[in-house]
Amino acid sequence: KAGVTQTPRYLIKTRGQQVTLSCSPISGHRSVSWYQQTPGQGLQFLFEYFSETQRNKGNFPGRFSGRQFSNSRSEMNVSTLELGDSALYLCASSFGQGATYEQYFGPGTRLTVT
């Protein structure tokens, strides 16, 4: 099976712009989660989508949003970019929501805000 794919892999944006990141989960996986990874804050949970519905949300401002499509693909949007949004954004997919399911991560999108 193909793994989790994320596009684009690298992105450079200017403060104030908005950006959309895409994630395609492993075939058959219905849950998609997003994380932000920075040297200072480590890995922080953004949100999770399951069957096109946001099920969990982390402590991020409303500028961070997402959605999931009927084929389980997910997009994450960040509006009004700030310098502090520079990070590696990781997407993870899981077959379901049970405690026994592990998450499989994509390679990430490296976002640089200048």
Out of 66, 76, 108, 111, which residue is the one contacting another protein (CB under 8 A)? 108
Applying the rule CB under 8 A, the residues between 29 and 48 that interact with another protein are 31, 33, 35, 42-43, 45, 48
Is the CB of residue 74 less than 8 Å from the CB of residue 63?
no
For residues 104 and 20, give the distance between their C-alpha atoms in angstroms, rounded to a whole number: 21
Stretch that binds another protein, among 11-19, 54-62, 69-77, 79-87 (CB under 8 A): 54-62
Q: Using CB atoms within 10 A of its CB, is residue 30 exposed (0-12), middle (13-18) or buried (19+)?
A: middle
Q: Which stretches of the chain bind another protein, using CB under 8 A?
A: 4, 6, 31, 33, 35, 42-43, 45, 48, 50, 55-56, 58, 90, 92, 94, 97-108
